[in-house]
Each structure stands twice: as C-alpha cells, then as structure tokens.
Amino acid sequence: MYDRTTYRQQGTFYELPPDAAPRRRRHRRKRRSVWPRLLLVAIVGLLLWRGLPVLGDQLARLELRAQEPERFSELPENLQALWEKNEDARGFVEDYWEKKDQTFSVDLSEYAGSGTVPLLMQWDERWGYNTYSGDLMGLTGCGPTCLAMAAIYLTGDTSLDPYTVAQFAETNGYAVPGSGTAWALMTDGAETLGLTARELPLDENSMVTALEGGELVICVMGPGDFTDSGHFIVLTGCQDGAFTVNDPNSYARSERTWTFDDLQYQVKNLWALGAPA
C-alpha cells in the first residue's frame, strides 16, 4: 500500500501515488552582477564624503544664526566672511560683541629662548580686536604679526608682540589704510627694530641658504592658497625638500610643508631677516 495524493484536473479528482504527482517547475533566477551596485554605493559615499565639510559649515552657520540671528547679522560683513572662510577664527568672530572693547594683557615670555619660531595668529583675542590700518587687526594685521614672530625668535625680546609691532607700524607710516601693510616694514621697519633685513630673489637656493644660515624669510603672497588678495607669511625652515611655514591666519596651512613649486607663483616679494649683528 502507499499513501495516495489527490490531484485535481479540470474538476475531476484522481488518486495518484506520491511519486506520480506533478511537480512545479522551479525557475532559476539569473544572477545579477553586484558590481553596478558596489559602484553606485562608492559614488554615493564619495559624494557624501566630499560634501560633509561643506554641509558641516552650513549647519554650523545656521546654528549660530539661529541662536543669535540679530547679533550675527549685525556683525561687520568682513567678520561674517571671516567666520565662513576660516574655521580657526570662528571663536574670535563669535566673541566679538563680548570682548571687542576689553583690554587684554599680553605675556609671550613662554617663547623666550624657546629655540622655535612662535606661531601667532593675527586674530588672537589678545590683540585682534584692536584697530590697525583702518580695520580690526584680526583682519588686517598679518604683516605686524609676521614681523613680531620673526623679532621674538631672532632677538628673544618677547615684548615685541603683534600689537606692539602694529603700533610701531602705525606710528612710522607703514600701515596703509585699505591696503594693510607697506612692504617697507619688512626692511626699514625691521632694521629699526634691531634686525638685519635684505630683499631676496625668488630663487629656491637663495631661500634655502638664508634659512640654513639662521635667517627667517617673510613672503608677501598674492591670490592662491593663502589669500584672495594679499597676505604675509613666514618661512621658518626647510624639511625634506620643502619649506615650513607660519601663516598668521591659519593653523592648518602652518601644519603642512610647502614646496618651492607650491609657492613660487604666489610669492610677490620676500625678505630675509636675521638676528642683530
């Protein structure tokens, strides 16, 4: 005996052995390649990765404006632009209303005899809210800040802080309202402060020789990686065929090295500054 299976066909029932029951056809699914999907995921991931910094900036800006919309909108437009362009300087901008009228004591004695060139920012709150060359020093003070970094390192005199040098520049006609700092501050002005100063040709060997001889090189930069208009930076040394830089407007640009090819098409002029004879 065997178990019977009931099979229905066109209204009639038949009893058939189990092994005689009709079997349903199994349709094999065609395997689809996973590569298109992986490629799509990679493209979406790349777009998200490239877009996240911009999205983060937008969210931060919206958050700040949402928290204090009136105060942000009342900021000078150049400070709003600084906040949007320079993440390092955002604290300086956000503290403007609270600290712009305060007087800060400046003590840079930690750099005395340190053997390293101090990295100072033009928008440091200790001096950045002061006026220089017709605007806030945090916006226009790259020249005095660079000369201050060089002077402190080369002379050991930590009283030559950026605002002291800025006042010196204002008093002696090196501050140019609307333009920032006259190039003569890096020669005549530097010599008045006790440094040696000479103009350099835009030549890699000359720059390396000056740095290896214990001098610092101050460059004025045109539009490019460092600025949209004009900006001073300090070359502090050579490392693995590239230059180390102190940029008074950016920690990020100061943390990397720059080859001569990176710099040469952006440099408008440069000077070697040395210790007092």
- Domains of the chain (ranges plus CATH)? 60-101 (no CATH), 109-274 (3.90.70.10)
Phi-psi region of 115 (alpha: psi -120 to 50; beta: other; left: phi over 0): left
Indicate whether 233 pLDDT > 90. Answer: yes
Residues 6+ apart with CB under 8 A from 107: 158
Locate 268 and state its tokens: 């408008």
Q: What is the pLDDT of residue 13?
A: 45
Mean pLDDT of the 112-129 span: 96
Q: What is the pLDDT of residue 16?
A: 47
> Pick the residue with more confidence: 102 or 62?
102
Q: What is the pLDDT of residue 7?
A: 46
Q: What is the pLDDT of residue 178?
A: 84
Q: What is the pLDDT of residue 74?
A: 87
User: 5-19 in b/e burial notation, b at 16+ Cβ within 10 A?
Assistant: eeeeeeeeeeeeeee
* 8 A C-beta contact, residue 126 and residue 106: yes
Locate all alpha helices (DSSP H) within 74-187, ordered by sequence: 77-85, 90-94, 96-99, 137-140, 142-155, 162-171
* 8 A C-beta contact, residue 154 and residue 195: yes
Nearest to 140 by CA among 174, 117, 108: 174
Confidence category of residue 126, pLDDT binned at 50, 70, 90: very high
What pLDDT digit, counting tens, does each position of 188-228 carry?
999 999 999 999 999 999 999 999 999 999 999 999 999 99
Predicted structure pTM score: 0.76
Confidence category of residue 274, pLDDT binned at 50, 70, 90: very high
Indicate whether 25 pLDDT > 80. Answer: no
End-to-end Cα, the chain, rounded Å: 119
Helix (H, G, I), strand (E, B) or coil at 258: strand
Locate 153 and state its tokens: 């390192």
What pLDDT digit, counting tens, does each position of 136-146 carry?
999 999 999 99
What pLDDT digit, counting tens, does each position of 68-103 carry?
666 778 899 999 999 999 999 999 999 999 999 999
* 8 A C-beta contact, residue 181 and residue 143: yes
Q: What is the pLDDT of residue 54?
A: 46
Q: What is the pLDDT of residue 36?
A: 62
For the residues of 157-192, what is the DSSP string, one character each? -TT--HHHHHHHHHHTT-EETTTEE-GGGGTHHHHH
Mean pLDDT, the chain, as a whole number?
85
Q: What is the pLDDT of residue 263?
A: 97
Q: What is the pLDDT of residue 129?
A: 97
Q: What is the DSSP letter of 270?
A: E
Indicate whether 43 pLDDT > 80. Answer: no
Residue carrying the six token digits 């002005």 = 189
Q: What is the pLDDT of residue 69?
A: 60
